[in-house]
Amino acid sequence: MYNEYLNNEQENETENEVGEEQRDENDIGVVAVQNAPYNIHCLTVIGQIEGHYILPPQNKTTKYEHIIPALVAIEQDSTIEGLLIILNTVGGDVEAGLAIAELIAGMSKPTVSIVVGGGHSIGVPLAVSAKRSFIVPSATMTIHPVRMNGMLLGIPQTLSYFDRMQGRITTFVVNNSRIKSERFLELMMEKDELVMDVGSVVDGNTAVSEGLIDNLGGLSEAITCLYELIEDWKKEKESKESKEESKEESQKECENDVPHDNQPT
């Protein structure tokens, strides 16, 4: 009886460990798909982006200390051929969001982002950081100046810091989308649209017409675009490898054809 009790306890512990592993995989959005044309990784950016300060436990957050290592792993993993980023965020820590956006923009693998629900505040740079961006018609994006909580010093240096921080965000968005800097600043400084703030709220159609987002579409269109990018990426990669191989072969042939001056007699 005692041995049966121990066996049952061990089985229960094993089941609990497996259940915890499955919950962890679901928490970070990893989904194993079989019979797909290409192996892509789905990365979700949801709720509020948590940066240098821990948010209250009732907040749904995306932690940058989890996302950054995940991006490094995706870039290195040879089995992953593309990255799909799904955004539904209210914004959050400016530097944390901008750091994630810079890493996504610097990836060599094909990346596609899709905004569903909302891509507000620092979610705007995250949305445009991918090589191609999508937004569903019902989604919205809030564009407003940088804000900060806590005690601030009312001195010119503080205003200068805000201006430089805003310039970093504007430069990134303009460099990774089709919107002009002047138009982005106009939307950011709009006074008559938000009740308690300065800025603009644009829907899916407006975001595309303004050049902020590349395409209007849903999940199917985003995945199809990602597959096309993967095909082009693989062709370019194969072409580059073949050129390098032919270059190495030609160098070896040249080395073999060079006469040796100090040959033994």
- CA-nearest of 87, 144, 93, 145 to 118 is 87
Rg (CA), the chain: 25
| Cβ neighbours around 29 below 10 Å, total | 15
176 and 105 Cβ atoms separated by less than 8 Å: yes
Please give the helix or strand (H or E) that residue 241 lies within, else none: helix 219-257
Does 78 qualify as catalytic in the annotation?
Answer: no
3-state secondary structure of 219: helix
Tell me which of 113, 120, 121, 177 is the catalytic residue.
121
Kind plus residue range of the DSSP H or E element containing 235: helix 219-257
The type of residue at 114 is I
121 is catalytic: yes
Strand 111-119 to 132-135 pairing? parallel
Is 87:123 a contact under the CB 8 Å cutoff?
A: yes
Please identify which of the residues 41, 120, 144, 177 carries the catalytic annotation: 144
| Best CA proximity match to 221, nearest among 229, 212, 231, 232 | 229
**Burial (0-12, 13-18, 19+ Cβ within 10 Å), 245:** exposed
SS3 state of residue 245 = helix
Query: Is residue 40 within a helix (H) or strand (E), and if so which, with residue range?
Result: strand 40-50
Residue whose token pair is 């959005």: 29
- Active-site amino acid positions: 121, 144
